[in-house]
Amino acid sequence: MTSSTLPSVPLPAADGRPQLGLADDLLSLLRTTATEPRRDEQLEALTLSVAADLPVLLWGEPGIGKTAALTQLAASLDLPLTTVIASVHEPTDFSGLPIVGEDPAANGVPMAPPQWAVELVRAGRGLLFLDELSTATPAVQAALLRVVLERRVGALQLPPGVRIVAAANPRASAADGWELSPPLANRFVHLYWVHDLDVVVRGLGGVWPRAELPRLEEAGLADAVAFARRAVCGFLGARPTLIHRLPTTETRRGGAWPSPRSWEAAMTLLAFGTAAAVSREVLALLVRGAVGDGPGLELLAHIDRMELPDPEVLLADPAAAMLPERGDLRQATLEAVVAAVGARPEQERWEAGWAVLVRALETGAPDLLVGPAKALASLRREGWEVPEAVERLSSVVGLHRRAEDSVSRVAASGRAAGGRA
């Protein structure tokens, strides 16, 4: 036997352990990470969708961290993770494989489910991760329809404790990718996964954000449902053409688009987001992920208008006026106050309108007052004295002069009209 044919023997380390064992120890240290509570909007949107029991589809470029996020999510929620690579399965792996029994004419032919589905049912709970969805053939996508919506795999019904999350690469970056079929795409909440520099750097340092279920307040559940229903139904009543709108291009049909099914998902997400008091940014991710960017943004704008304070309440007690903090909502509120005064112009209401503007000056940016103040000044009638509130605002927008000029124009117009008569 030559030296080249002698069996190799692992070289021991300096302390007597094999080098491969030390390599395993090193790998174990590298893979040991911790988690911390940290605001991560896309992770919060994903967790809330899972809590709402809605199928979620994560879109992102290869290597962006979709699979890692799902693995960490399952661990944080203490859910067994079952990963199914959709592109390497046949349609029968989802629709069931026909098994002929003793008397098929009498008993029929049952559709036997795959092992992964049986294990999920046995566990009673879990996170089903359908990976590489955009590389699944159209036949496999068709077989997935019942799995995603009805939670049925062959003749087997998945238990309520099973949540479904999928991941996909855009067609341009997917291996032999396909566009998602419109029926399958419309069953998902679409979240677009992007990397965050701080999250990646801190995660590579050993600490990742912790996925946590939203904290729902029991006392507010009924109000959250009522608000969500009022928002969606009110919006669709005003925009009926958005109830069902199938996109015209194949690529957009494979994403989020409005239908009665996806509006129901948006309403569910809105109720959960309201009950959990999530940020507007998270709510925008969820609503747009259900019905698409355009309809979702329109719904959010409708919700903003719903939440504006009643101008009559503000006029009744200007000193206690609670104005929105967001600039666009604050300006819309002030314009509504001016419109209310214009609808019923009385001196007392006109003076109350100025008091509301003073309140806005005390609690926010003065530049938002220019337009509403000019409009309110133009409502002055002859004989109405300029209130002290205008003096407080004159240094900001020069209102006193504008108010006097408006009275002069009104008076001149009246005299001219009388002369022509």
Task: Delimit the domains of the chain by residue range.
Answer: 36-99+108-209, 218-306, 311-420
End-to-end CA distance of the chain: 129
Identify any residues that bridge with 344 across adjacent strands, giving them in sequence order.
Answer: none
Q: Are 398 and 363 in contact (CB under 8 A)?
A: no
Q: Are 272 and 296 in contact (CB under 8 A)?
A: no
Among candidate residues 48, 71, 40, the one with its CA nearest the CA of residue 194? 40
Q: How far apart are CA 130 and CA 109, in angstroms?
A: 27
How many Å separate Cα 416 from the centre of its chain? 58
Residue at 294: amino acid letter? G
What pLDDT is stored for residue 226 in this prediction? Answer: 96
Cα–Cα distance list, 59 to 122, 136, 164, 198, 398 (Å): 30, 15, 15, 20, 52
Q: Where are the alpha helices (DSSP H) in 77-181?
A: 92-95, 104-107, 115-123, 138-150
Q: Would you write out the chain's pLDDT as a tens digit for each of its 421 residues?
A: 454 555 555 555 556 678 888 999 999 999 888 888 888 899 999 999 999 999 999 998 888 888 888 888 888 888 999 999 988 888 888 887 777 666 666 666 677 788 899 999 999 999 999 998 988 889 999 999 999 989 998 888 999 999 999 999 886 665 567 889 999 999 999 999 888 888 889 888 988 888 888 888 888 999 999 999 999 999 999 899 999 999 988 889 999 999 999 999 999 999 999 999 999 999 999 999 999 999 999 999 999 888 888 899 999 998 888 898 888 888 889 998 999 999 999 999 999 999 999 898 888 877 788 888 889 988 989 888 888 777 777 766 654 455 455 555 655 665 555 555 5
Tokens of 257: 């688009």
What pLDDT is stored for residue 162 in this prediction? Answer: 94
Regarding the domain delimited by 36-99+108-209, which CATH topology (the fold level of the hierarchy) does it fall under?
Rossmann fold (3.40.50)
Mark 355-380 as b/e (b = at least 16 C-beta within 10 Å).
Answer: bbbbbbbeebeeebbeebbbbbbbbb
Cβ-proximal residues to 353 (8 Å cutoff; 6+ apart), any chain:
315, 337, 338, 341, 376, 379
Q: Are 86 and 135 in contact (CB under 8 A)?
A: yes
What pLDDT is stored for residue 86 in this prediction? Answer: 85
Q: Are 127 and 81 in contact (CB under 8 A)?
A: yes
Burial of 314 (0-12, 13-18, 19+ CB in 10 A): buried
What pLDDT is stored for residue 400 in this prediction? Answer: 46
Q: Indicate the SS3 state at residue 163.
A: strand
Identify any residues that bridge with 167 across adjacent strands, giving them in sequence order.
Answer: 58
Contacts 24+ apart (CB under 8 A), 262-267: 262/186, 262/290, 262/291, 263/232, 263/236, 263/290, 263/291, 265/54, 265/189, 265/290, 265/291, 266/232, 266/290, 266/291, 266/296, 266/299, 267/228, 267/229, 267/231, 267/232
Q: Indicate the SS3 state at residue 12.
A: strand
Backbone angles phi, psi at 127, to 5 degrees: -115, 110
pTM of the model: 0.76
Q: To 5 degrees, how large is the angle CA 28–CA 84–CA 74?
A: 50
Q: Are 74 and 80 in contact (CB under 8 A)?
A: yes
Backbone angles phi, psi at 177, to 5 degrees: -75, 155
Beta pairing class for 56-59 and 189-192 = parallel
